[in-house]
Structure 1
Amino acid sequence: MRPHPILIPTIAAALLTLTACAGPASAPDAPTDGTDTHGAVSGAAEMSEPQLHLMTVDPTGTVAHLDLLTEESTDIGGIGSVTTTASDGRYLFAAGDGVRIVDSGVWTWDHVDHFHYYRAEPRILGTVPDAGAVAVATTNSSTTGGIGLFFAETGAAVLLDTAALSKGEIVESFRLNTTPHAGYVVPVGSFALVTDGAGAVTVHESTGDTVADSTVPCVDPRGTITTRVGAVLGCRDGALLATVTADTVHIERIPYPEGVGPVTSFANREGRPTVAGLDAAGRILLLDTRERSWRVLPAPAPLLTVTAVDDAAEHVLGLGADGRVLVIDGASGALLAATEPLVADTIAAGSASGVRLLADDHRAYLNAPVERLLYEIDYADAARIARTFVTPTAPVHLVETGR
């Protein structure tokens, strides 16, 4: 597949070289066969640095992959109409008529004290069939564990085998029929939490079998994310944190502070212990999964979304209702810096549903569909716009891959 520059940088900037010890990511799930392949799969080349890319989907379903090292873009192909997207840092999961899966061909394996980086050819893998809206839950490993899909309209709860996916095969470890509801399948180790539509969640083995005495309450499940500590599932009264030790799943409840919550979604720099979300009153809630505690911050301006960078400076990033990207002090909630409005036209047009503010170790990325732009933002340098890329079509969906 020949790369070609359909995304043109309009602001020049030196690209920061990333090293293998640039910062912590997520701890990988242990290989189920007792071996450690360091995340390698057949046909992939190991690289000396992260192969960071931005993957976008336009209104026609065309998938483009922008290499942030070379600034070249590759058209991967068309996947049809897309309503929502999700990613684990390697795969794109695009919901529409079922879930289409695209392998970006780039990923990072966290070996705790060092990292391995891989590159292979990107490709469209196929479709998981079902209907209606779907919630996607991933781990931070692209070669082990599972990926959870829950189809709200039919109640189908599906766990995909990530190891098979890394070989180009879509294999369902289990498919369970539950009551139709806005639910989740949350992978954790070799297990998965499955909501039941009746205010509870139960642990299942990768075979689909129920783990005895594993059902716990979770009314109105909303939002899930995996950190270095474990898997988070939001509920009306707080968050559940699931961890695995000695082949046993432990579930802890972290209740909301009095008078705040609930949070409908969580976001962070991949794998970090702290995650961020907004409650109905527009307050910023930070969940530290290592300390099992919440921090409540006043928002410095009306916000559409937030993400926790969880770095030494405790940065939190927010997308303002006016289209600005805000850098917020995670200790006090004070505004540290802000860009000019970057997606004001997109918000005014009512086209912001697919806009994503993503953070990695050094930069943040934002897609602007109506403006037909992608932004790279140095959040540690007064929210400086490091690079801007013009896109030939509207980048209505965005994920970052290679991390």
Structure 2
Amino acid sequence: MVQNYLRKIIKKNNRRPFLISLIFVVILLAVTIQESYKWSTLFTPLTAVNSIESIMDLHKQNKFYFQLKKADIYPMDFGIYNYHTVNGIKTSEEELTQIYGILQYDDGYLLILLPKDYLDMSDDELASVTAVADIESLNDGDYHKEAYEEMVKVLSDAYKIEPSVVKENVAEICITIPDHGRLNDQLLFIFYLLGLLISLVFFLYHLLVAFQYRQSRFYKRLDRIGSAEDMEYSINRAAEEGACLYISTLRPSNYAGIVTSDYIIGKKGMSLALGNTRNLVWVHLKLIKHKSHYITVGKTYQVLFYFKDLKAPIAINCPKEDVAANLIDTVSETLRVYCGYSKELEQLYKKNFDAFLKEVHSRKPVEDQL
């Protein structure tokens, strides 16, 4: 039975993007579910509140955004700062980014986190704030807990009562007034949703290719070049008859490649590509060093195939130098094409493709130029 090597190489190359798209779907779906308590109030009419009791009711319902109406706010001497560091050394002055305050209604107090611009507001403005706000648990950060303790101390000193009594009457939550209301979270939600949809489309496509390789973009591209079935038959017969110059479908997908007397299948970036050997003009070896912390930890020997009808070479990666050298020798002897690296040709290829084709043609054996 003739094995289908084209199907093997398509499925092999499909495995990595299939897994990557699946990982993206799982991660984005998990984030979307985890943040669902925010998403539920992102695009709905805001509930208006004007009491501590109504805020606590929203918190019990796991609501997030709401409309804070005519609240009295008292900023505290407690804020969030940031600064830039290089290797642990501070390189710029601290910058105040947000401040904490005390939110007061007739029925009590809550901790509130404000944009730093609230420091410039007058007492009258702070006595009747209306803004979009959200509810956070103190467990969302140690800084909230520190600010809560500071607020308890302020109220304890003001009313001359024990901090424990204040804590019994002030809930451990933090009301935040964002700089841009719900806009940032709305944009973030749209970003996550688009990412999830795109990842899902890619996942479903690669899942389809895993079962129906002829639905792959590569196979359909072959049909636009010529007859994909004829190319498939030609490649499989060459492999079955031992006439393949090179074949690798069992290695990791990075090393996948097929070379017959008629066709060459390799990679352009992460995608499979096919070239007709009638249009092959130049072949050479390229060494790729893989580094970690400036230390070479591995090497890939890449054979590059240049075609006169393609503006980018097709690459076949080889794990060992002798494998790549044998491939180039076989191609040179069988396909009668110029092989060997030339800096002059590489520069011409990048700058003047027509001049490159003329120069590489002149370097072929005289009998092959006729």
- TM-based fold match above 0.5: no
Alignment TM class, shorter chain as reference: under 0.3
Larger Rg: 2
The structure whose residues are more often helix, as a share, is 2
